[in-house]
Amino acid sequence: MLQAIAITTVCFRIRRARPFISFLPLVRAMPMRLPQYLGIVVIGTLVGMFGSARGDDASWIDLIGERGLEAWKEPKSKWVVAGEVGLDARNPKRLSYKTGTGILVNGATGRAHNLLSRENFGDIEAHVEFLIPKGSNSGVKFEGLYEIQIFDSFGKKKATASDCGGIYPRAEHEPTYHHIDAGTPPRVNAARRPGEWQTLEVIFLAPRFDAAGNKIANARFVKVVLNDQLIHENVDVKTPTGAAWHDKEIARGPLLLQGDHGPVAFRQVRVRPYDGKRGS
């Protein structure tokens, strides 16, 4: 009897898409005890599912959480560790916050040095949640060089690479700051209203180099999802973005959170090594 229950439980877990078919033989054999055995099967399935989830979560590196600013290099003194954040009731272009844990805010002025992670990364998956006020500007740079733009683009009909979720264009500082290409716009404008938390999920592949240090493959954004909408897929990035396009490319580098362009808050910043394929 116990063997039959165990077999059914395993079958139910492995073939969740067809649970009724897997469970049918036991239903016919034990109609009077169906609730008892159904409870065993469901509990076994949930234990397996939540056990897998815990193992999956264990691979993520939390760069904020209870650690605050510990995972980030100096200078970082103008950043504040907060527990609550929202739009300033007196000025929608500013943020207000209360100190606590779990959220990083770039200070009362909305201007602070960019944050660079202490740890360097190559191929990674990243989960970043951010909140900006009206008209603000920030970004997340992989290896400190390849930027996914953060910008108040809510309601804009046609997004450019300078809008939220764009792979930022290359640029020059002289004679004044200007773009020298169009970058890669997001497929759709998925930006939310200012003052709402937004979620960015990214799979990034670092450039590849041969033994002599020559680049043999470009960096690539395998997938970028903004607020549950796919905005990039398998986009090669031939050089670093913005004015950093002159900089030397590297196999590993820090995650950068931009803090010097306008008020921004970050939470739930997590990364983990990515070992999938490069794709087409």
pLDDT in tens, 216-255: 999 999 999 999 999 999 999 999 999 999 999 999 999 9
DSSP state letter for 242: B
Confidence of residue 60 (pLDDT cuts 50, 70, 90): very high
The residue-averaged pLDDT of 153-181 equals 95
Q: What pLDDT, in 10s, does the model give residues 260-276?
A: 999 999 999 999 999 88
pLDDT for residue 28 is more than 70: no
**Do both 76 and 119 map to the same domain?**
yes
Q: Are 107 and 46 within one domain?
A: no
Let me know: does 231 contact 187? Beta carbons within 8 Å.
yes
Domain carrying residue 187: 62-273
Please, what is the average pLDDT of the chain?
A: 85
Q: Which residues of 211-236 are buried (b: 16+ CB within 10 A; e: fewer)?
A: eeeeeeebbbbbbbbbbeeebbeeee
Q: Could you give the number of structural domains in the chain?
A: 2
Q: Answer yes or no: do 8 and 92 share one domain.
A: no
Instruction: Over range 160-187, report the average pLDDT.
Output: 95
> Distances in Å between the alpha carbon of 47 and those of 40, 42, 59, 104?
11, 9, 19, 34
DSSP 3-state of 190: coil
Q: Is residue 200 part of a domain?
A: yes
Q: Is residue 105 part of a domain?
A: yes
pLDDT confidence of residue 209:
98
**pLDDT, position 56:** 59
pLDDT at 116 over 90: yes
Residue 278: pLDDT band with limits 50, 70, 90 = low
Boundary residue ending a domain (36, 57, 78): 57
Q: What's the pLDDT at 58? A: 66
Q: What is the mean pLDDT of residues 143-170?
A: 97
* Interacting residues of 89 by C-beta distance below 8 A, sequence separation 6+: 96
pLDDT at 67: 84
In a domain, 51, yes or no: yes
Do the domain assignments include residue 278? no
Same domain, 27 and 130: no
Verify that 44 and 176 share a domain, yes or no. Answer: no
User: What CATH number is associated with residue 149?
Assistant: 2.60.120.560
Per residue in 67-83, pLDDT (tens digit) is 899 999 999 999 999 99
In a domain, 80, yes or no: yes
Q: Are residues 113 and 219 in the same domain?
A: yes
| pTM of this structure | 0.79
Together in a domain, 222 and 191: yes
Q: Is residue 42's pLDDT more than 50? A: no
- Assign 277 a pLDDT band (cuts: 50, 70, 90): low
What is the phi/psi pair of residue 207, to 5°? Answer: -65, 155
CA neighbours closer than 13 Å in the CB half-sphere of residue 252:
8
- Which of 23, 41, 57 is the C-terminal boundary of a domain? 57
53 and 66 in a single domain? The answer is: no
pLDDT, residue 280, reads 45
- Are residues 124 and 53 both part of a single domain? no
Q: What percentage of the chain carries pLDDT values higher than 70?
A: 78
| DSSP string for residues in 24-87 | HHHHHH-GGGHHHHHHHHHHHHHHHHHHHHHHHHTT-EESSGGGTTTTBPSP-TT-EEEEEEEE
Q: Which pLDDT does position 66 carry in this prediction?
A: 84
The rounded distance, in Å, linking the Cα atoms of 218 and 174 is: 27
**Residue 279 within a domain:** no
280 part of a folded domain: no
Task: Please report the pLDDT score of residue 142 as a whole number.
Answer: 98
Do residues 41 and 67 both lie within one domain? Answer: no
User: Containing H/E element for 10?
Assistant: helix 2-14
